[in-house]
Amino acid sequence: MSRRTPLARRRTLLATLGTAAALALVPLGASGAFASDGGPQGGTDHGSPGAVFVQLNGTAGNTIAAYARHADGTLTAAGRYATGGLGGTQVGAPLDALASQGSLVLDDRHDVLLAVNAGSDSVTAFGVHGAALSAPRTVPSGGQFPTSIAVHGDLVYVLDAGGDGAVSGFRLVHGGLVPIPGSTRSLGLGGTNPPAFLASPAQIGFGADGHVLVVTTKSHGELLAFPLDAQGVPAASPVTTPSAGAVPFSFVVDRHDRLQVTEAGTGRTSTYTVATDGALSLVGSSAPDGGAALCWNVLAGRTLLGANAGSATLSSWSVPRSGPAVLTAPVATTTNAGPIDLAASHDGRFVYVQESVAGSVGAYAVSAGGSLTRIQTVSGLPAFTTTGMEGIAAR
């Protein structure tokens, strides 16, 4: 009989399944004490210029853990807040319960935090006051198993990953979400509910000008783009662009208004321009970073960072005005086990990484040249077993 630890068995599973299976590296939602290692426990001598929020995605009750962010980038626990909904887990997810990017989104313009409740098909809006949250305002997501949220101005779109997949629109009105009539569009993916992690769509987001919605589809190998009319309602069907590489997962809009898309199957970042009619044009792709399961990315100032969930590393790229992203450090740093979602402070000086297997959040200082220095480990978070936390946002 095998006497290997659960962590050893998970590592063996990842090695066996390879890069594609490692896509699902995610943290877990549960209760438990929060502790900080390597950082101050108080905070009165640091000020409180920002906050970090972590979604626990508990299947018996979804919860947001809040942290005050100090001037040196370290965090102090500041409370937990129930969303009024339930977390969920995709079928076969090895370490990433929601298998998505953008499940927790902070809208600085309106001081609103938006969270998906995948297990109860709803979305919650909180008012944000420093590191404190107001009472939750929860509404149906418009479909099954919501996993990702996009915000542009007062326009909000939710990606539902269950079944055929769908996008549904809302307006932010006085801190709450109001559905846009006639805005729901099916993605026609032919999935299940809950969805299988590799077959589900990964992220929804806006192009730079807010006129186009984009969805990545993982194993379907496509980028789906919906042009929006003046009322924010999507076209009847999307413009479909084949991905430059296998398993397109997450994306961000860079400072040159282009999409930077991770490919979990290739370890590359591919760069696209977005036209107002929904046409996506490939600029080019970076060199592969050599990691396993490049699934999540974030911009920290001028540096693009990606998390390799299967190899417990972060990679970095520079983003030139023309041409694709340029790989600058295949291993910018080594993290605790299971790095997934990432969030950067508003000034780009700090990056926070959910570490699903370790049950922690790693805090890093980002230099002007893009190098990373770990400054704190926030421990005591639930480590992934059969489900896990997912979603992190910072300001």
Q: What is this structure's pTM?
A: 0.89
Residue 19 φ/ψ, nearest 5 degrees: -60, -45
Distance of CA 90 to the CA centre of its chain: 15
For the chain, the first-to-last Cα distance in angstroms comes to: 49
Torsion, Cα 146 152 156 157, to 10 degrees, reads -50
Q: Burial, 253: exposed, middle or buried (Cβ in 10 Å; 0-12, 13-18, 19+)?
A: middle
Query: What confidence score (pLDDT) does residue 253 get?
Result: 98
CA angle 321, 326, 331 (to 5 degrees): 145
Query: What confidence score (pLDDT) does residue 281 get?
Result: 98
Q: Please report the DSSP string for 217-245 in residue order.
A: -GGG-EEEEEEB-TTSPBPSSPEEEE-SS
> From CA 151, how far away is CA 133, in angstroms rounded?
19
Domains defined along the chain, listed by start: 6-39+47-394 (2.130.10.10)
Q: Do residues 119 and 143 touch, judged by C-beta distance below 8 A? A: no
> From CA 236, how far away is CA 184, in angstroms rounded?
9
Cβ density class 283-294: b for 16+ within 10 Å, e for less: bebbebbebbbb
Q: Do residues 47 and 392 touch, judged by C-beta distance below 8 A? A: no
The pLDDT tens digits of the residues spanning 261-286 come to 999 999 999 999 999 999 999 999 99
Name the E strands within 153-267.
155-160, 166-173, 176-179, 185-186, 203-206, 212-216, 222-227, 239-242, 248-253, 259-263
Query: What confidence score (pLDDT) does residue 254 get?
Result: 97
Query: What confidence score (pLDDT) does residue 49 get?
Result: 81
Q: Kind and range of the H or E element at 108?
A: none
Q: Do residues 102 and 203 touch, judged by C-beta distance below 8 A? A: yes
Q: Do residues 339 and 354 touch, judged by C-beta distance below 8 A? A: yes
The pLDDT tens digits of the residues spanning 298-317 come to 999 999 999 999 999 999 99
Query: What confidence score (pLDDT) does residue 48 get?
Result: 45
Collect the ranges in the chain with pLDDT lower than 70. Answer: 1-48
Query: What confidence score (pLDDT) does residue 44 get?
Result: 37
Query: What confidence score (pLDDT) does residue 325 get?
Result: 98
